[in-house]
């Protein structure tokens, strides 16, 4: 055994008070959960009703029927199932209602959907073999804790067996392996039923878990399994073909058999010849190169639809081949699809980039979330999204290069923007509607953090009635009078102060719509760069408070908002302003425009650029009212059809013109006609 690991385990056993309490406990640590399971085991459900409920729990609508049913029998079954789940999963629905412990103790942070738990526990009544291993691990632990281990995830068990116990993983003998490994530590629980949860707590200790939670796959390890996300066309248009053919296919049209080219420079030249341009096409070059040269048999691939939805999972089974008989998606590999009918929406709307192929091997948070999800869906091909989200959040690396790939900005402008924020600590991104201020703000924060960590980025929105009491702290009615409640800025400042080695970013949307001096109150002075860390006594509480130096504030301002005539001078003095302009002429947008291969789209863009010239020259408007580029952005490989173009014109652009020129209907009509004519 590794000496350092042994020392960590012995220190954990000797000093952890919560662990000592479990070891000394006379009762089974989760006896109330076991009692809930016993009641369910003793409850009889007719075969017909059981089949009906299993079917209902397999769809979002059906699960909601179960959840909202007033039928006495279904209510009884629902209460029994939800009570069990409340002791199994930290993210259980209504856990505080059903979990009867004061500390709401559970087996694990399983992150399994409530409808999946419901389906698994119903299947447990009919056929235990149909229950996922992860869910079964929890049930078996409650049922027979003396012979089962107190953790849920099969993936984690496999890692622990491999990296800690140094034995092949066998589900039925895993607890025996754990007991054998821990024999030298002589752990004697007063109640043997608690040994499984004690060992689980030790293995999940932050320092000990590092020994087995390390990435199994490294991008630098040519033998390791790599993980990929690919787009089967715009709106997953080619997904049906890939499923049917057992393939993963990328590429929008016939270009070349990429395996005949020697290096990335030849890839770039091929793309330039195809597009008849001189653009770098770096994203497509990289995607095709990786697809041909880096992807290998045994790698895991996920199919995506958009930037946050996963629709399939498979294992690469073959080398690259070029199918010249296809009109599009000619570059392919054979795949064994393990899941082909799912609809998993990640919490982070920007979890995936817009590239056609992305290597996510190094993004362990995202990768593990996906694998954990599919692990618990092995028993069904029909996976549906419910309103109950899993607890884990993906945390992926994010760099300056990632920012420049996703945001239409050149490197020099990024350096200026990031440098300005580092120096001033408070900036405002100001620009017209549709220039991507919100998207840019979050990506700027992630790029300066170095990873997509949502816990270190907080976003709120100001409005005209927003107050100091909402923002910092104030008294609010609580049913029995008034209670002092702390606001988001106060809480986030404290969070940042407690983690002084890391940077935190507070984003304020519509910052100019609030009364800034009133909202910040006595703290307005403290947000200045040279006042950070200085303490001041708060208005509502006899407490010294400061704004930490590792907190950065990014305000967002819509320059086309007529409701705000003047900007508070105090705001201008404490914030630096950065103009975000339409990026129609940027290299990134021009590259995407060329990839659309659509003359009507080109005509529309030219029309909008001319429209922006007139808006900028209008004395009553100006550059701050120009139409932004984000209205015209699309995903890679997306087909720009007439319906798409019409939707942008009728529902995005023309309504803005009606607002801009509300007193000049003829001008609105003139430009509306031009826009419509451009896509005819």
In 3-state terms the chain splits into helix, strand, coil percentages (rounded to 5) of: 50, 15, 40
Other C-beta atoms within 10 Å of 293: how many? 13
Q: State the pLDDT at residue 461.
A: 85
The model's confidence at residue 639, banded by pLDDT at 50, 70 and 90, is: low
Mean pLDDT in the chain? 83
Residue 360 above 50 pLDDT? yes
Residue 608 above 60 pLDDT? yes
- Residues making up the chain, counted from first to last: 680
CATH 3.10.590 maps onto the chain at: 227-375
> For residues 411 and 369, is the Cβ–Cβ distance under 8 A?
no
Which own/partner contact pairs does 600-607 have at CB distance under 8 Å and 24+ positions apart? Answer: 600/640, 600/642, 600/645, 600/678, 600/679, 600/680, 601/632, 601/640, 601/645, 601/679, 603/678, 603/679, 604/632, 604/645, 604/648, 604/649, 604/675, 604/678, 604/679, 605/632, 606/678, 607/674, 607/675, 607/678
The model's confidence at residue 552, banded by pLDDT at 50, 70 and 90, is: very high
Segment 503-548, tens digit of pLDDT: 999 999 888 888 888 888 888 888 998 889 888 888 777 778 899 9
Q: State the pLDDT at residue 224.
A: 59
Per CATH, domain 400-580 is 3.40.50.300: yes
What the block records as the tokens of 464 is: 């005209």
Q: State the pLDDT at residue 30.
A: 92
CATH 3.40.50.300 maps onto the chain at: 400-580
Angstrom distances, CA of residue 642 to CA of 627, 632, 637, 647:
20, 13, 16, 8
What phi and psi, each to the nearest 5 degrees, are found at residue 517? -60, -35
Q: State the pLDDT at residue 91.
A: 67
Q: State the pLDDT at residue 90.
A: 75
Question: Using the 8-state DSSP alphabet, how is residue 512 labeled?
Answer: G
Range from 97-101, 497-501, 650-654 that averages highest in pLDDT: 97-101
Residue 484 above 60 pLDDT? yes
In the Cβ-directed half-sphere of 615, how many Cα atoms lie within 13 Å?
25
> 500-504, 547-551, 617-621, 630-634 — which is least confidently predicted?
630-634
Using CB atoms within 10 Å of the CB of residue 394, give its burial: 0 to 12 exposed, 13 to 18 middle, 19+ buried. buried
What phi and psi, each to the nearest 5 degrees, are found at residue 536? -145, 150
Angstrom distances, CA of residue 255 to CA of 268, 326, 330, 603:
12, 11, 9, 25
Report angle CA 274, 593, 578 to the nearest 5 degrees: 135
The model's confidence at residue 384, banded by pLDDT at 50, 70 and 90, is: very low
Helix 31-42 to helix 133-143 angle (10° resolution) is 100
Among 258, 278, 277, residue whose Cα is nearest residue 267: 258
Per DSSP, the three-state class of 671 is: helix
Q: Give mean pLDDT, residues 92-103.
A: 85
Residue 100 above 80 pLDDT? yes
What phi and psi, each to the nearest 5 degrees, are found at residue 574? -95, -15
Residue 152 above 80 pLDDT? no
The model's confidence at residue 611, banded by pLDDT at 50, 70 and 90, is: very high
Residue 133 above 70 pLDDT? yes
Angstrom distances, CA of residue 74 to CA of 33, 62, 219, 288, 309:
20, 13, 50, 53, 32
Q: How far apart are CA 258 and CA 294, in angstroms?
A: 13
Q: Give mean pLDDT, residues 608-637.
A: 85
Question: Using the 8-state DSSP alphabet, how is residue 628 labeled?
Answer: P
Which own/partner contact pairs does 42-50 have at CB distance under 8 Å and 24+ positions apart? Answer: 43/76, 43/77, 43/80, 45/77, 45/125, 47/126, 49/73, 50/122, 50/125, 50/126
Among 172, 135, 281, residue whose Cα is nearest residue 595: 281
Residue 381 above 50 pLDDT? no
Residue 372 above 90 pLDDT? no
| Top-level class of domain 227-375 | alpha beta
Among 116, 46, 37, residue whose Cα is nearest residue 83: 37
Which helix (H) or strand (E) is 304 found in, with range?
A: strand 300-305
Q: How far apart are CA 371 and CA 139, in angstroms?
A: 21
Other C-beta atoms within 10 Å of 535: how many? 11
Distance of CA 465 to the CA centre of its chain: 31
The model's confidence at residue 364, banded by pLDDT at 50, 70 and 90, is: low
Report angle CA 597, 598, 601 to the nearest 5 degrees: 130
Q: How far apart are CA 184 and CA 175, in angstroms?
A: 16
Per DSSP, the three-state class of 584 is: coil
Locate the DSSP E strands across 467-550.
473-477, 482-486, 504-509, 536-537, 544-545
Q: State the pLDDT at residue 233.
A: 85
Other C-beta atoms within 10 Å of 213: how many? 17
Q: How far apart are CA 450 and CA 559, in angstroms?
A: 30
Close Cβ partners of 156 (under 8 Å, ≥ 6 residues apart): 212, 213
Q: State the pLDDT at residue 223.
A: 42
Residue 349 above 70 pLDDT? no
What are the helix (H) ranges across 450-487?
Answer: 468-471
Segment 407-431, tens digit of pLDDT: 888 888 999 999 999 999 999 999 8
> For residues 121 and 40, is the Cβ–Cβ distance under 8 A?
yes
Q: State the pLDDT at residue 562.
A: 52
> 305-314, 346-355, 446-455, 528-537 — which is least confidently predicted?
346-355
Q: How far apart are CA 469 and CA 518, in angstroms?
A: 10
β-pair partners for 48: none
Range from 22-36, 251-265, 369-383 that averages highest in pLDDT: 22-36
Residue 37 above 80 pLDDT? yes
Segment 290-330, tens digit of pLDDT: 998 888 877 899 999 887 788 999 888 888 888 888 888 88
Q: State the pLDDT at residue 442.
A: 92
Q: Give mean pLDDT, residues 462-484.
A: 79
Look at the block and give the residue holding tokens 């809480």: 491
What phi and psi, each to the nearest 5 degrees, are found at residue 545? -140, 150
The model's confidence at residue 207, banded by pLDDT at 50, 70 and 90, is: confident
DSSP string, 407-454: SS--HHHHHHHHHHHHHHSEEEEEE-TTS-HHHHHHHHHHHHHTB--G
Using CB atoms within 10 Å of the CB of residue 599, give its burial: 0 to 12 exposed, 13 to 18 middle, 19+ buried. exposed
> 46-55, 372-381, 487-496 — which is least confidently predicted?
372-381
Q: State the pLDDT at residue 127.
A: 87
In the Cβ-directed half-sphere of 664, how many Cα atoms lie within 13 Å?
13
β-pair partners for 230: 303, 357
Which helix (H) or strand (E) is 176 found in, with range?
A: helix 174-182
The model's confidence at residue 193, banded by pLDDT at 50, 70 and 90, is: very high
Q: State the pLDDT at residue 389.
A: 34
Task: Put residue 607 in one of left, alpha, beta given phi > 0 → left and psi -120 to 50 → alpha.
Answer: alpha
Q: What percent of the chain has pLDDT over 70?
A: 88
DSSP string, 531-575: GTT--EE-SSSS-EE---TTEEEEEEEETT-TT-----HHHHHHS
Q: What percent of the chain has pLDDT over 90?
A: 26
Q: State the pLDDT at residue 480.
A: 66
Angstrom distances, CA of residue 14 to CA of 8, 25, 640:
10, 16, 65
Task: Please state whether beta strands 247-250 and 331-339 pair in parallel, antiparallel, or not at all (unpaired).
Answer: antiparallel
Residue 219 above 60 pLDDT? no
């Amino acid at each position: 055994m590794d000496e350092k690991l042994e020392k960590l385990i012995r220190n954990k056993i000797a000093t952890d008070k919560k662990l000592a309490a479990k070891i000394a406990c006379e009762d089974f640590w989760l006896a109330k959960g076991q009692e809930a399971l016993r009641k369910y085991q003793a409850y009889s459900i007719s075969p017909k009703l059981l089949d009906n409920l299993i079917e209902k729990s397999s769809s979002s609508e059906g699960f909601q029927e179960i959840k909202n049913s007033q039928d006495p029998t279904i209510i009884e079954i629902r209460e029994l199932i939800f009570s069990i789940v409340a002791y199994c999963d930290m993210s259980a629905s209504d856990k505080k209602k059903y979990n009867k412990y004061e500390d709401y103790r559970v087996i694990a942070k399983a992150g399994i959907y409530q409808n999946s738990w419901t389906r698994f526990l119903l299947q447990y009544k009919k056929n235990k073999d149909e229950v996922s291993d992860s869910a079964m691990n929890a049930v078996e632990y409650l049922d027979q804790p003396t012979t089962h281990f107190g953790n849920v995830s099969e993936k984690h068990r496999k890692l622990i067996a491999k990296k800690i116990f140094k034995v092949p993983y066998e589900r039925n003998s895993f607890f025996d392996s754990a007991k054998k490994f821990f024999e030298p530590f002589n752990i004697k629980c007063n109640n043997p039923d608690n040994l499984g949860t004690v060992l689980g707590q030790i293995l999940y200790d932050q320092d000990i878990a590092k020994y087995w939670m390390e990435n199994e796959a490294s991008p630098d390890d040519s033998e390791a399994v790599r993980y990929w996300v690919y787009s089967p066309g715009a709106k997953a248009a080619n997904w049906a073909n890939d499923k049917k053919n057992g393939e993963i296919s990328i590429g929008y049209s016939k270009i070349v058999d990429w395996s005949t080219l020697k290096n990335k420079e030849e890839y770039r030249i091929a793309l330039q010849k195809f597009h008849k341009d001189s653009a770098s096409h770096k994203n497509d070059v990289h995607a095709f190169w990786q697809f041909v040269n880096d992807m290998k048999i045994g790698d895991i691939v996920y199919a995506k639809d958009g930037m946050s939805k996963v629709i399939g999972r498979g294992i690469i089974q073959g080398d690259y081949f070029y199918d010249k008989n296809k009109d599009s998606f000619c570059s392919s590999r054979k795949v064994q699809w393990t899941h082909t009918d799912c609809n998993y929406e990640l919490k982070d709307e920007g979890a995936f980039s817009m590239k056609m192929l992305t290597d996510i091997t190094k993004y362990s948070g995202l990768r593990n979330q996906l694998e954990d999800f599919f692990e618990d869906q092995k028993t069904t091909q029909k996976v549906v999204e419910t309103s109950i989200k899993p607890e884990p959040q993906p945390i992926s690396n994010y760099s300056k290069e990632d920012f420049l790939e996703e945001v239409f900005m050149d490197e020099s402008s990024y350096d200026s923007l990031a440098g300005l924020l580092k120096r001033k600590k408070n900036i405002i991104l100001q620009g017209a509607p549709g220039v991507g201020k919100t998207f840019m703000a979050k990506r700027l924060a992630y790029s300066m953090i170095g990873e997509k960590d949502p816990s270190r980025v907080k976003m709120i929105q100001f409005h005209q009635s927003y107050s100091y009491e909402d923002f910092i702290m104030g008294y609010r009615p609580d049913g029995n009078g008034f209670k002092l409640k702390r606001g988001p800025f106060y809480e986030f400042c404290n969070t940042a102060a407690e983690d002084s080695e890391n940077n935190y970013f507070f984003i304020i949307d519509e910052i100019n719509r609030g009364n800034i001096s009133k909202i910040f109150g006595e703290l307005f002075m403290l947000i200045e760069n040279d006042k950070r860390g200085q303490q001041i006594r708060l208005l509502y509480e006899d407490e010294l408070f400061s704004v930490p130096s590792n907190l950065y504030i990014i305000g967002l301002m819509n320059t086309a908002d007529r409701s705000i005539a003047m900007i508070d001078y105090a705001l201008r003095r404490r914030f630096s302003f950065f103009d975000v302009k339409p990026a129609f002429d940027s290299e990134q947008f021009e590259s995407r425009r060329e990839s659309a291969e659509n003359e009507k789209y080109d005509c529309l863009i030219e029309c909008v650029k001319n429209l922006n010239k007139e808006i900028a020259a209008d004395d009553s408007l100006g550059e701050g009212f120009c139409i932004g580029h984000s209205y015209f952005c699309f995903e890679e490989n997306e087909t720009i059809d007439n319906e798409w173009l019409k939707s942008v014109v009728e529902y995005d652009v023309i309504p803005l013109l009606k607002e801009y020129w509300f007193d000049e209907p003829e001008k609105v009509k003139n430009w509306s006609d031009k826009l419509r004519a451009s896509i005819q």
